[in-house]
Amino acid sequence: MKLLLDEMYPPSLAERLRGEGIEAATVSELGLAGCSDAELFTAAVEQDYTLLTENVADFASIAAEQLSAGQHHSGVLIALSSRFSRRPAGIAPLAAAVHAVATEQLADRVLYLERADRN
C-alpha cells in the first residue's frame, strides 16, 4: 500500500506507518502543502497513492466525480475525527486501522476506517 496522508496528520503517523512496512508520505514531504483538495486528489491519483483524510465531504465528492468521468483512483480512506484523534495517543489506533485494510483492494473505493478497540 502507498498511502498519502492529508495535511491534518502529523509526520509521526507517516513515520510509524513506514516503520510498520507501509509506504506512507505526508503532503508536505511531497511538496503539496497548501494545495486544494482537487489538486491533492489529482496528485494522489497520478502517483498511485491511496489518500488518508478525515475530510469526507470534499474527498467523497471528488472521488465520485472521478468515477463519474470514467477515471479511476487508488482509494480514499476516511478516518472520521469522531473516531480517531490526531493527538499522539491517537496515532496507534489510526495506524492499526490502516493496517486492518492494507491488504484490501482499495482502487475506486471510499472506505471508512474503524477502530479495532471499539465494537
76 bridge partner residues: 51, 110
pLDDT of residue 116: 83
38-63 residue pLDDT tens: 999 999 999 999 999 999 999 999 99
Q: What angle do CA 16, 20, 22 make, to 5 degrees?
A: 90
60-119 residue pLDDT tens: 999 999 999 999 999 999 999 999 998 898 999 999 999 999 999 999 999 999 998 764
SS3 letters across 73-103: CCCEEECCCCCCCCCHHHHHHHHHHHHHHCC
24 bridge partner residues: 3
Per-domain boundaries in the chain: 2-112
- In CATH, what number does 2-112 get? 3.40.50
Cα separations in angstroms, 27 against 5, 30, 33, 43, 115:
6, 5, 6, 10, 24
24-43 residue pLDDT tens: 999 999 999 999 999 999 99
